[in-house]
Amino acid sequence: MSRTHLSLFAALAVLAGSSGAALLAAPAGAATSSIPCSVDYKVQNQWDTGFTAAVTITNNAAAKSSWSLKWSYAGNQQVTSGWNAQITQSGAAVTVANESYNNTLASGGSVSFGFNGTYTGTNALPATFTLDGVTCNVDDGSGSSGGGTGGGGGDGGTGNRVDNPYAGTKGYVDPEWSAKAAAEPGGSRIANQSTAVWLDRIAAIDGVNGGMGLRAHLDEALKQKGSGNLVIQLVIYDLPGRDCAALASNGELGPNDLDKYKSQYIDPIATILADPKYAGLRIATVIEPDSLPNLVTNAGGTNTTTDACVIMKSNGNYEKGVSYALGKLGTIPNVYNYLDAGHHGWLGWDTNLGPSVQEFAKVATSNGASVNDVAGFIVNTANYGPVTEPNVKVTDTVNGQTVRQSKWVDWNQYVDEQSYALGLRDKLIAAGFDSGLGMLIDTSRDGWGGTARPTGPGPLTSVDAYVNGGRIDRRVHVGNWCNQSGAGLGQRPTAAPAAGVDAYVWVKPPGQSDGSSTAIPNDEGKGFDRMCDPTYGGNARNGNNPSGALPNAPLAGHWFSAQFQQLMQNAYPPLP
């Protein structure tokens, strides 16, 4: 996929069901005013002597400028390492305080952190949580009820839309991806994670080379669902002239094949998803990664322009195709459309962000589509941008210079994906999208752990030294997108990790290549992009920097064992 930008030249569940699907739990009691605060504490992974936990706090009282959460264990659990918070433990008592970058907790807002721990015997849940001395998950007597640890709620399988389709659900585990992951040494540690199913050609609807088609995945999702709720993620990815600024992920349809896209791709998908058999599933669709951002940055008058993108902007088939997909799929009550919005290193400049919002609003209100057909937007799809940069804030200055003047940031308004997602969300709502708009962040490969991960800010000798020494994103350039060397698995799929964010998701299945590092003949319409060549010196879209790509990569979407092993090795949070 093209990941370019226009620079400013000028319950808890360890395993859920037999499938091992991870439970995505929303903060219990959120938006229930009689409960001053709620805490969702869930164990994401557990083994004989250790575990990984994720905690989300929701504040239903007055806004806070700092916060402190406390609980005590009934057993011998010991916190060994944590992230996104300062965690200390004395005996059984645990105290968690905010970091400087997440100290603010708005009324109705949420904040999340995680940690690794050890235990022997039984790893029981903490019974009581207090936020700044106030007991959470308990009704204060004003007449409402609710609250508690773990996830719950949902639509009960009725097919009625909920505010956040990821809340209180299992996530669908793709058996085909899971089997490949489990076959890798150490891969069983993550083979139970929920990943998206990519419908990247017409043949994928029925299944390619004997693989599972759409109905097979939905039938398997029903089995994994059981009596609870389950969300299955589908990537709708076969536009005419697909991915006009890259070659590795070009598609099967020509620039003018809009009618074929509608009748042979979107219509059959919509027919299957509308089958009453699947009404109890929550279906999250990621609509056409790369398409609309390419129209903003790569289709007009700059040295990032490509002829292919100019054609797609001129004929309007990206816009018409995306509008058609939104309108057609948006009529199905249990489908939640998330429109792709690039990433901070692509659209994070003011000159890109404003036009992008206008483009999104145009597409969502034309050719039969409505803003009501858009549940939210997704950022960082198949990309590598960290959720947060703990050591670098866009407001930092060094010797009187803002970090925006550094070569890496290059005057961008954002340095990470969550700030970009929430900034974009505000602008989208102002442009007419629903105030309940939810954002997704693809965290499948943005962990950047391992020995190269900085442990603190860079030196104050210069703004470049400060940024380069402290940034956890270790890419050569923020525009690099293909099979990046040094990358690691990011935060595991989690619902409602922050206010305005529906979920962290793994849309790009870890281990699937972004593109081949050399030309490989194929019948999938996929070309050779030099950004996937580790010997390539770059172009204007990545500041003429090396590609940073891994060698010996297969075609886009094919299994890349060496990359999968690297992702596990550099995972952050670390794998057990």
Per-residue pLDDT of the chain (576 residues; tens, 9 = 90+): 444 333 332 233 333 333 334 334 333 333 334 678 889 888 877 887 888 888 999 998 888 999 999 999 888 999 999 888 999 998 889 999 999 889 999 888 889 999 999 998 888 888 889 898 888 876 544 333 222 333 223 343 334 689 999 999 999 999 999 999 999 999 999 999 999 999 999 999 999 999 999 999 999 999 999 989 999 999 999 999 998 987 877 889 999 999 999 999 999 999 999 999 999 999 999 999 999 999 999 998 676 789 999 999 999 999 999 999 999 999 999 999 999 999 999 999 999 999 999 999 999 999 989 999 999 999 999 999 999 999 999 999 999 999 999 999 999 999 999 999 999 999 999 999 999 999 999 999 999 999 999 999 999 999 999 999 999 999 999 999 999 999 999 999 999 999 999 999 999 999 999 999 999 999 887 889 999 999 999 888 888 999 999 999 999 999 999 999 999 999 999 999
Please give the pLDDT value at position 28. 36
Give Cα separations from 544 to 8, 51, 388, 412, 547 (angstroms): 15, 44, 26, 18, 9
For helices 417-430 and 350-363, the axis angle rounded to 10 degrees is 50
Beta-bridge mates of residue 284: 233, 336
Q: Which of 40, 410, 514, 529 is catalytic?
A: 514
Tell me how far apart the alpha carbons of residues 245 and 1 are, in angstroms, rounded to a whole number.
8
Please give the pLDDT value at position 34. 63
Quick one: DSSP state of residue 332? S
Tell me how far apart the alpha carbons of residues 270 and 325 are, in angstroms, rounded to a whole number.
9
Tell me how far apart the alpha carbons of residues 265 and 256 are, in angstroms, rounded to a whole number.
14
Please give the pLDDT value at position 21. 40
Tell me how far apart the alpha carbons of residues 346 and 4 are, in angstroms, rounded to a whole number.
6
Whether 290 is catalytic is yes
Quick one: DSSP state of residue 524? S
Please give the pLDDT value at position 301. 67
User: What pTM value is reported for the model?
Assistant: 0.75
Please give the pLDDT value at position 288. 97
Label the pairing between strands 37-46 and 50-59.
antiparallel
The DSSP secondary structure of 55-75, one letter per residue, reads EEEEE-SS-BSS-EEEEE-SS
Question: Which one, of 538, 509, 47, 437, lies nearest residue 235 by Cα?
Answer: 509
Q: Which of 238, 243, 290, 446 is catalytic?
A: 290
3-state SS, residue 169: strand
Please give the pLDDT value at position 160. 67
Please give the pLDDT value at position 101. 85
Please give the pLDDT value at position 107. 86
CB neighbours of residue 561 within 10 Å: 15
The DSSP secondary structure of 197-260, one letter per residue, reads EEE-SGGGGT-STT---HHHHHHHHHHHHTTS-EEEEEEE---TT-STT-STT--SS-TT-HHH
Please give the pLDDT value at position 48. 78
Tell me how far apart the alpha carbons of residues 421 and 115 are, in angstroms, rounded to a whole number.
24
- Estimate to the nearest angstrom the gap between the alpha carbon of 89 and the chain centroid: 31
Query: In 73-160, which ranges are E strands?
Result: 78-83, 86-90, 93-97, 110-118, 129-131, 134-135
Contact between 303 and 251 under an 8 Å Cβ cutoff? The reply is: no
Tell me how far apart the alpha carbons of residues 494 and 190 are, in angstroms, rounded to a whole number.
14
Tell me how far apart the alpha carbons of residues 454 and 384 are, in angstroms, rounded to a whole number.
16
CA 357, 296, 487, 288 dihedral sign is positive
Residue type, 388: T
Angle at 292 between CA 286 and CA 297, to 5 degrees: 135
Whether 307 is catalytic is no
Q: What share of the chain is helix, strand, coil (3-state, %, to 5)?
A: 25, 20, 55
Contact between 357 and 400 under an 8 Å Cβ cutoff? The reply is: no
Residue 381: partners with Cβ closer than 8 Å, 6 or more residues away: 1, 286, 289, 290, 340, 343, 442, 507, 508
Question: Which one, of 246, 245, 341, lies nearest residue 287 by Cα?
Answer: 341
The DSSP secondary structure of 402-470, one letter per residue, reads EGGGSTTTTT-S-SSHHHHHHHHHHHHHHTT--TT-EEEEE-TT----STTS-SS---TT-HHHHHHHH
Residue 536: partners with Cβ closer than 8 Å, 6 or more residues away: 530, 546, 547, 549
Segment (H or E) for 378: strand 376-379
